[in-house]
């Protein structure tokens, strides 16, 4: 409760940076002509490799020891993160991306509920109302859930939301534990899971490797590391709310790179999400003086 204002501000900045990094996924995916499991495999290797290098640079052998022996909390976080990453790809294959995006938007509510049940950490009414507005904005952005959506894809999307929400609460619960090693480990686990299903591994050329390296290093490694660090410093519901900025930012990168102008409903929904997050952050600052 007596958390320093500067620490809270750093947490907000880190999670915003994570959302910006995560939002570049459609841009990189559009550039890659490979099957999703090949992308998952190489992306995980590059992301895990970069995070491992950062660990060694910052902590030396101690960082490697954390990677090889992450402890129960670190292993749990790595496993939950890997479940979220691995569930995401087949979910997109089995149901429409709109359905997946709408379910992801429920994460602030799920994280807040888990934090209340486990940590007795009650979300403020301000954050809950902002989460509801952000959820409405995401629904508008993606155009709503289609009827007749595949139940398997919906189930995997729900599993992903539950895994990432639980991961957020575990990171918050074990703030004294370094979670950067867990971020690296989760990517290596994801690569191992994707390996048996990857069909294009041998067909990745120099240009493909360059894009995959940027995908893994910029979108995954930086995004996941920023989120791991930032969510330690914020209430779980607020961290998940800020992370929903990922959805309205996705069409922005497509517009910048491919000159595809977002639809009016995407602009309206995006404005609602961004407005909800900004209002929550501003209200948090006012309440802390």
Predicted confidence at residue 192, as pLDDT, reads 95
Per the CB < 8 A criterion, the answer to whether 76 and 170 are in contact is yes
Neighbours of 201 (CB within 10 A): 14
CA distance 229 to 218: 16
Predicted confidence at residue 288, as pLDDT, reads 66
CA distance 151 to 143: 19
Cα-Cα end-to-end distance for the chain: 14
Q: Under DSSP, is residue 123 helix (H, G, I), strand (E, B) or coil? A: coil
Q: pLDDT in tens for each of the 289 residues of the chain?
A: 456 778 888 999 999 999 999 989 888 888 888 888 899 999 999 999 999 998 888 888 888 888 888 889 999 999 999 999 888 878 877 776 667 777 777 888 888 889 988 888 877 888 889 888 988 887 787 665 454 556 788 888 889 999 999 999 998 888 777 788 999 999 999 999 999 999 888 889 889 999 999 999 999 999 999 998 898 889 888 898 899 888 788 888 888 888 877 778 778 888 888 888 888 888 877 776 5
Helix 61-68 × helix 36-59 angle, to 10°? 140
CA distance 229 to 237: 15
Q: Classify residue 258 by its DSSP letter.
A: H
Q: Classify residue 61 by its DSSP letter.
A: H
44, containing H or E segment: helix 36-59
């Amino acid at each position: 409760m007596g958390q320093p204002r500067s620490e809270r501000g750093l947490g907000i900045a880190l999670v915003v940076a994570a959302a910006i990094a995560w939002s570049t996924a459609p841009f990189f995916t559009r550039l890659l002509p490979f099957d999703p499991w090949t992308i998952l495999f190489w992306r995980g290797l590059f992301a895990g490799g970069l995070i491992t290098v950062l660990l060694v640079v910052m902590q030396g052998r101690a960082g490697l020891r954390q990677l090889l022996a992450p402890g129960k909390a670190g292993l749990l976080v790595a496993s939950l993160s890997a479940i979220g990453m691995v569930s995401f790809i087949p979910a997109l294959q089995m149901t429409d991306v709109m359905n997946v995006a709408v379910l992801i938007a429920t994460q602030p509510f799920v994280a807040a509920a888990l934090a209340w049940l486990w940590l007795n950490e009650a979300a403020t009414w301000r954050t809950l109302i902002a989460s509801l507005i952000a959820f409405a904005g995401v629904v508008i952005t993606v155009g709503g859930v289609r009827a007749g959506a595949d139940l398997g894809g919906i189930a995997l999307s729900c599993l992903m939301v539950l895994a990432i929400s639980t991961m957020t609460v575990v990171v918050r619960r074990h703030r004294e534990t370094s979670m950067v090693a867990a971020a690296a480990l989760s990517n290596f686990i994801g690569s191992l899971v994707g390996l048996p299903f990857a069909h294009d591994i041998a067909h990745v050329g120099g240009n493909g490797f360059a894009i995959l390296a940027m995908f893994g290093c910029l979108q995954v490694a930086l995004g996941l590391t920023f989120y791991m660090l930032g969510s330690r410093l914020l209430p779980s519901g607020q961290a998940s709310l800020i992370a929903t900025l990922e959805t309205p930012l996705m069409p922005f990168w497509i517009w910048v790179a491919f000159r595809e102008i977002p639809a009016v409903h995407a602009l309206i929904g995006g404005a609602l999400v961004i407005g909800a997050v900004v209002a929550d952050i501003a209200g948090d600052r006012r309440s802390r003086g």
